[in-house]
Structure 1
Amino acid sequence: MRHPIARALARPLILAAVAAAIPLASAAPVAADSIVVGGFPVDVSKAPWTVALSSRDRFGGTRAGQFCGGVAVAPTTVLTAAHCMGEDVLGAPPEQVSDFRVIAGRTDLLSDQGAEIAIREVWVNPGYDPQSNAGDFAVLTLAEPLPQDAVIAMSAAGDPAYEPGTRATVYGWGDVTGGGDYVRRLRAAYVHVMSDARCGEAYPGGGDGTFLADSMLCAGEERGGRDACQGDSGGPLVARGKLVGLVSWGSGCGRAGQPGVYTRVSEVMRTLDWDGRNAADGRHGTA
């Protein structure tokens, strides 16, 4: 499920520019009724803060150049995964990708719905560790603002949304089977937030990866079948109406006992010194 710079099994959830770059064969097959995996179609009007990252020059026009997801947390501020901004992904530093866009307000990637907005600035968390996937987030500043009602609030530390057992929803345009079956229309899947102890058991270190509770959160189903997958990286995990996670990494797609791992949004807020007062115009710190 994840990306060529990491381990074969515990890898970031990104859609590669070259199909051979991601070892899709390593992903275990999921149940036949698993349609993000184990999910359902959703109109973007139900999740207007969910956006797609696009570069047709790099990824082709079949899916409007979509390669990762993102989430609007202020009119000109989009969060995504740091690993989506790597030169091995984009072919160049992000500021040199001339057609790098955020696609907002679009359910079907090939429709003319919504808008494609240029990126004015990219800030990648300097604390991001590509080996452990800790700190896997980046901030995109848009050249044009989104409507205020197209942004979502973030959950600070201690929010009940992080409590184990809380039902959450993950959104994306990625692989729906774990076998390279990418969709044009936005999908969502219901998962449950898992305890740090359970996540640590699932990813204690080694080939499957290491769960780090300070910067990561995991969610899924014990029996598998619902999960994010390739192409969903950087997309939102939402619980109790707030953003709690960004799709980051995991082992396979929808595997029993192998939940998806997300960047913990409370840690993003701490790193950015984000207290809600700066949400109106997208200002953020770089602490």
Structure 2
Amino acid sequence: MYSNEDMKKIAKIFIVIFLCSEMQPSVTQNNSYEQRVLYYSSHVNTTQASFSNAQHHASIRLKDHDQNFGNGHICSGVVIGPSVVLTTAQCVYNYNKNKPYHPSELKVVLASLSRYQLQEQTLIYSVTHSYQPKTFDTLRLRDNVAILMLERDIPEMNEYVQAITLPQAKVYNTNWYDKQNGGEFKVTTWLKTHEDLHLNHLMLLNASQVSDETCLQYYGKTLFTTGMLCINTNESLQEDFGSPLFVDNKLVGLRSLASGHLSPAIYTDVSHHAKWISEIIGDGTNQNSSIWGSMGFLLLTYVALKRSKFMKL
């Protein structure tokens, strides 16, 4: 059984997730994106991302909400293979209907640093499959990771998109990087202003690891447990779940939980799920075309045989 304080913390996080999933920017907000970028121009912890440090970043969107480009953005993700994007399971879970979104409801936007501007190099993909661990807890967000398989492979040698390096299971972790690189973590994400206006340009944040004890103090042992990282970006206006935490183009975590103020956030430890990810994606290439082609061939063969038997009668 959980204490009343733990249940209050869970309820608070659930409300934040629900509100973020329902929040959609208005046309007025879209028209003022340049002013929003200026808001962060002097922010010491934040700079505009570029393709040199954000080729891996993905925008995950609901198709029905994205007629005005950018309004359908629900969370971020990261490219980990030729046709694979990794995000958090909460991102692709419809809390209103208490079930995951169907892959046909989703699309992924790549090669774009702009949330609201469709640019020449922008790539847009439908999603054919979505996978989450069976142990994903929709309330406490344990095992909060999801795999999206794209309809086709990303073109090779694309100068705007590059898969990030995945960790092997427990081969490296944030403690190792703290010692080697001084904890120079980065996060790519979309932010909003204090006026609740969404920024158009993708931003790059500096991040650092915080002790587990700190997150236990903020979230309690019900919400912060094995497979999670305690990370601080000093950014209170980041609600873009699924945003990747990385160092030297190596993926470390995905933004999972935040209390809505300057407290540290919880990130899913990707190395904790490395084995499961590799089992699902294989070499990371798209195999849907060959599978459907084989099924189509078998179906046509069956129809032809049935028709030939009918003609003989």
TM-score range relative to shorter protein: 0.7 to 0.9
| Aligned residue type for 2:113 | T
1:271 aligns with 2:279: no
Q: What's the % identity of the aligned pairs? A: 21
| Aligned residue type for 2:205 | A
Residue matched to 1:29? none
The match for 1:8 among 2, 7, 12 is 12
Number of positions where the alignment pairs a residue of Structure 1 with one of Structure 2: 253
Higher mean displacement: 74-83 or 192-201: 192-201
Deviation digits for residues 87-144 of structure 1 (CA, Å, limit 9, x no counterpart): 236897522644x210000011213232111111111221111221111111000011
* Residues 68 and 37 (structure 1), Cα distance of their counterparts in 2 relative to 1, 3 Å cut: farther
Deviation digits for residues 127-186 of structure 1 (CA, Å, limit 9, x no counterpart): 111221111111000011124561011223141544456121111123344x52211111
| Aligned residue type for 1:229 | Q
Residue matched to 1:251? 259
Paired residue secondary structure (1:198) = helix
Contact 1:166–1:192 at 8 Å: present in 2 too? yes
1:202 aligns with 2:231: no
> Which 5+ residue runs of structure 2 have no aligned equivalent?
1-9, 26-38, 288-313
Deviation at 1:199, TM superposition (A): 2.7
The match for 2:113 among 88, 100, 107 is 107
Higher mean displacement: 63-72 or 165-174: 165-174
Counterparts of 1:29-48 in structure 2 under 5 Å? 38-48=45-55
* Residues 170 and 12 (structure 1), Cα distance of their counterparts in 2 relative to 1, 3 Å cut: farther
* Residues 82 and 105 (structure 1), Cα distance of their counterparts in 2 relative to 1, 3 Å cut: same
1:185 aligns with 2:201: yes
Paired residue secondary structure (1:47) = coil
Contact 1:13–1:249 at 8 Å: present in 2 too? no
* Residues 280 and 197 (structure 1), Cα distance of their counterparts in 2 relative to 1, 3 Å cut: same
Deviation digits for residues 72-97 of structure 1 (CA, Å, limit 9, x no counterpart): 11111111111111123689752264
CA distance in 2, matches of 1:238, 1:13: 27
Residue matched to 1:155? 167
Contact 2:103–2:130 at 8 Å: present in 1 too? no
Deviation at 1:259, TM superposition (A): 0.5
The match for 2:90 among 80, 83, 93 is 83
What RMSD, in angstroms, separates the aligned Cα atoms of the two structures?
3.4
| Aligned residue type for 2:124 | E
* Residues 228 and 144 (structure 1), Cα distance of their counterparts in 2 relative to 1, 3 Å cut: farther
Deviation at 1:210, TM superposition (A): 2.5
CA distance in 2, matches of 1:86, 1:35: 36
CA distance in 1, matches of 2:97, 2:134: 18
Task: Give the TM-score normalised by structure 2.
Answer: 0.69
CA distance in 1, matches of 2:136, 2:43: 25
> Which 5+ residue runs of structure 1 have no aligned equivalent?
1-5, 21-31
Deviation at 1:244, TM superposition (A): 0.5
Contact 1:161–1:239 at 8 Å: present in 2 too? no
Per residue, is there more helix in 1 or in 2? Answer: 2
1:166 aligns with 2:175: no
Task: Give the TM-score normalised by structure 1.
Answer: 0.75
Deviation at 1:52, TM superposition (A): 0.1
Paired residue secondary structure (2:11) = coil
CA distance in 1, matches of 2:61, 2:91: 11
Deviation digits for residues 211-267 of structure 1 (CA, Å, limit 9, x no counterpart): 11x21112115xxx336722x1112110233101011112114x1xx2111111011
